[in-house]
Amino acid sequence: MTSQEIEALRRENRALKDKLARIERLGNLHLGYRLGLTVMESRFFSLLMRLDFVPRELAYDKLYSDREELVQDTALDAHIVNMRRKLGGKHIEITTVYGEGWYIEAGVRSKVLSRWGNVDGIVDAGRVIRGE
C-alpha cells in the first residue's frame, strides 16, 4: 500500500469518526421519531433519556445553541406540552421541577428502552433516516 493510499484511508477514518461523534451527540433521535416526536422534541427526549435530570439552561444550550435568532423562553415549554400529549398514552411522564428543569424517572427510562428499543437508525444533520 502506498503512502498516498494510507493517507486517504486515514482521512476517511477521521471523517467516519466525526460522523459517528455527531450521531452519538444526537443520541436517541430515532427512538423519538418512533414515538411520534418531531426532531426538536426528539433532541430534548434524548437528553431526558440520557440524563437523570435536565437543567433548563442545559436544555436551551443543547437545543438552541445552533440558532442565530433569539429563541423565546416559552419555546421549550411548548415542545414539552406537545411531548406530554404524544407520550402520555405510552405512559412516559416528563416531570417538571419548577424553574429548574425536567426528568423522566429511571424506571420509566428503562421500560422505554426495553419496549421501544435504542438508537437503531442513522441520524445526521437533524434528519432521521429509518434503520429498517
Tens digit of pLDDT for each residue in 29-67? 667 777 888 888 988 998 898 889 999 999 988 888 776
Predicted local confidence at residue 7, as pLDDT: 94
Stretch 116-131: mean pLDDT, rounded?
40
Sign of CA dihedral 79, 85, 88, 94: positive
Mean pLDDT of the residues in the chain: 78
Cβ neighbours for 59, distance < 8 A, ≥ 6 positions apart: 44, 47, 76, 101, 102
| Residue ranges of domains in the chain | 3-129
Answer whether 40's CB lies under 8 Å from 63's CB. yes
Sign of CA dihedral 25, 97, 56, 90: positive
Q: CA-CA distance, 74 to 59, in Å (whole number)?
A: 13
The yes or no reply on domain 3-129 and CATH 1.10.8.60 is no
Tens digit of pLDDT for each residue in 72-89? 778 888 999 999 999 988
First to last CA, the chain: 36
- Average the pLDDT over each of 36-40, 92-96, 106-110, 122-126 and give the range with the smallest value: 122-126
pTM given for the model: 0.65
Burial of 10 (0-12, 13-18, 19+ CB in 10 A): exposed
